[in-house]
Amino acid sequence: MIIQKSTSPRISSFDPENFSFGDTFIDHMFICEYDNEKWGEPRIVPYGPIGFSPAMMGVNYGQACFEGMKAYKDENDDVFLFRPEKNAKRINKSASRLAMPEVPEEIFMKGLQTLIDLDRDWIPKGEGMSLYIRPVIFATEEVLKARISNKYMFAIVATPAKSYYSAPVSVKISDHYSRAANGGVGSAKAAGNYAASFYPTKLANDEGFDQVIWTDDTAHEYFEESGTMNVFVRINDTIYTPKTSEKILDGVTRDSFLKLADKKGIKVIVGDVKVKDVVEAFDNGTLKEVWGVGTAVVTSVFKALGYQDRLLNLPILSETESFALSLKKDLTDIQTNKAEDTFGWRMKVEKNILEEA
């Protein structure tokens, strides 16, 4: 691995108490290029722009996918990743669906750990704090032909993160727009999935909602996802969540919530979640909670559901009453090394990996 350290690092001016998530980047980034049917030499270089042509195939034909993951720092300044092997497998699943080459797991894991070790000082410490990491693969061949590209780049960039959607949000149940369709790319973290969601979300924002609960493309009878999150519904003391499919992303946080709920003895039903059943549960008083989960947000509790011409105001529960908040605490305690990791999810980023890279 080639490592080029920044000659003008910005870490000395980084204020962990005052920064903006998503546009504050660490000093370095990882890149590896694919050409002639093979991946080249991995590199860590100073973070900054990379020159590309507007004719780049990723821009014109949409061959691009990504992952979202986090690194955490505990009270002893040790750094941990959370289930990174799941992200390595999922980005390759997405790449395969978009006819892009898979990244060898060794390149993914070694590049990830070396980058995080090098810039570990950028990881803020404290409640809700982390380093958000974005691995991405995109087509770079410069040609205007609607075909599979011959050249790609795999890159990893990262931004410090703090609590996201910390307050309960209002969401609109979609009865027209859908996030994905059968036979499509809903189960892949394809860049185009997010682009297509922005317009319906804007319409929901204009109505006073924060996000959208996506429903099926056939009759809009079933919950699928919420915004960029997997969705959970609690009726009485049972949790319901849609099963994964070619339309629904197999979220790492979702899977973690399911395993933690099982450990706590909470009944979970994975299957079809009907809109009408959720509305009926609200009407008869058995709908206790609805929430979304994902890497960036961890857990976003919903305070209201908009459905057709109705606004369903949900109770705001305390942490002791709420399954969503209780499971979130269990998860974040594992991520931040405050609790025993009986699942083997936490991966420590050893110091001085750089010297061995």
Whether 155 and 26 share a structural domain: yes
pLDDT recorded at residue 250? 95
pLDDT tens-digit map of 304-339: 999 999 999 999 899 899 999 999 999 999 999 999
Amino acid at 261: A
- Checking if the pLDDT of 356 tops 70, the result is no
Whether 47 and 188 share a structural domain: no
Whether 13 and 139 share a structural domain: yes
Whether 155 and 216 share a structural domain: no
Whether this prediction's pTM lies above 0.85 is answered by: yes
Please give the Cα distance from 146 to 32 (Å, whole number). 24
Q: Taking CA 66 as the corner, what is the angle to CA 61 and CA 68, rounded to the nearest 5 degrees?
A: 155
pLDDT recorded at residue 352? 80
Range of the domain at 325: 169-335
Q: What CATH number is associated with residue 187?
A: 3.20.10.10
Whether 121 and 224 share a structural domain: no
Whether 155 and 174 share a structural domain: no
Whether 142 and 214 share a structural domain: no
Whether 80 and 207 share a structural domain: no
Whether 185 and 139 share a structural domain: no
The tally of domains found in the chain comes to: 2
> Which residue pairs from 205-211 have beta carbons closer than 8 angstroms and sit at least 24 positions apart in sequence?
207/172, 207/306, 208/170, 209/170, 209/171, 209/172, 209/306, 210/165, 210/169, 210/170, 210/171, 211/169, 211/170, 211/171, 211/172, 211/292, 211/300
Whether 103 and 219 share a structural domain: no
pLDDT recorded at residue 357? 47
Q: What CATH number is associated with residue 53?
A: 3.30.470.10
**How large is the average pLDDT for residues 246-265?**
97
Asked if residue 342 is part of any domain, the answer here is no
